[in-house]
Amino acid sequence: MKHKSTLFLKELNKNMVTKEYVSWLNDHETMRYTEQRFLKHDMMTVKNYVNNIKRSKTEFLFGIFINHLEKKIHIGNIKLGPINKYHKNAYISFFIGNKRFLNMGYGTNAIKEVLIIAKKKYKLNKIYAGAYSLNKQSIKILKKNKFVLEGNFKKAVKFNEKYINHFIFGKIL
Ligand SMILES: CC(C)(COP(=O)(O)OP(=O)(O)OC[C@H]1O[C@@H](n2cnc3c(N)ncnc32)[C@H](O)[C@@H]1OP(=O)(O)O)[C@@H](O)C(=O)NCCC(=O)NCCS
């Protein structure tokens, strides 16, 4: 099923951290292909993290919000940064934490929106995203946004006691 709601990105501040958001970061299934899986998060660590990024000049953390049953709800995050201001490039990373809204096109659209911000607001010309080779969903949404595979780091990350490849995707804006 494809999404019915319009998505929007909103820069997060510490007052927007909820118990639900903290639980996404502790969800081993959601975080299985990210380095977050090694960390234990709580309200304080997440508020501190969000606050530090809010004060940073090179990293920008956006909540992915949708209008659902007349309410604006937070379903995941997408981060732009670190930005290299000289080279005008940046990394992005993202997740949909609320599993009810997976596979509805929101991940694809969140990337589309953050690319517009990267180009229009921050005047960037190159965006990178990393993905474990097994992360089919992430690879799919990067390709749908016309990212291309630029780097294949062989057996670079350990996943379930096996070493697997780490991909770097890139897109010129
Ligand atoms: C990657 C992620 C953000 C995708 O979000 P999403 O909102 O479900 O993405 P979309 O609905 O836009 O697209 C998902 C695509 O993956 C496909 N897909 C889903 N499961 C799949 C699987 N097991 N194998 C292959 N493709 C799969 C879907 O069919 C869909 O493609 P389609 O639109 O052509 O049908 C989400 O899966 C997630 O949060 N994963 C965990 C966090 C993560 O790994 N983040 C990336 C690391 S930086």
Q: Is residue 137 part of a domain?
A: no
Q: How far apart are CA 60 and CA 119, in angstroms?
A: 14
Per-residue tokens: 106:
């929101």
pLDDT confidence of residue 5: 80
Residue 16, in any domain of the structure: yes
Does position 119 have pLDDT exceeding 80, yes or no?
yes
Is 140 a domain residue? Answer: no
The answer to whether residues 173 and 119 touch, using CB atoms and an 8 Å cutoff, is: yes
User: Residue 34 belongs to a domain with what CATH number?
Assistant: 3.40.630.30
Ligand 1: atom nearest CA of 132 is 47
Q: Is residue 23 part of a domain?
A: yes
Domain coverage including residue 52 = 7-129
Helix (H) or strand (E) holding 77: strand 71-84
Q: Is residue 81 part of a domain?
A: yes
**Residues lining ligand 1, Cβ inside 6 A:** 30, 33-34, 93-96, 102-108, 131, 135-138, 140-141
Phi (first) and psi of residue 171, to 5 degrees = -145, 130
Structure letter (DSSP) for residue 146: T
Residue 94 within any structural domain of the chain: yes
Query: 103, 138, 139: which to mutate for ligand 1, most atoms within 8 A of CB?
Result: 103
Give the count of domains, the chain.
Answer: 1
In a domain, 156, yes or no: no
In tens, the pLDDT along 13-70 reads: 999 999 999 999 999 999 999 988 889 999 999 999 999 999 999 999 999 999 988 8
Note the pTM of the prediction, 2 decimals: 0.97
Within 10 angstroms of residue 55's Cβ, the number of other Cβ atoms is 8
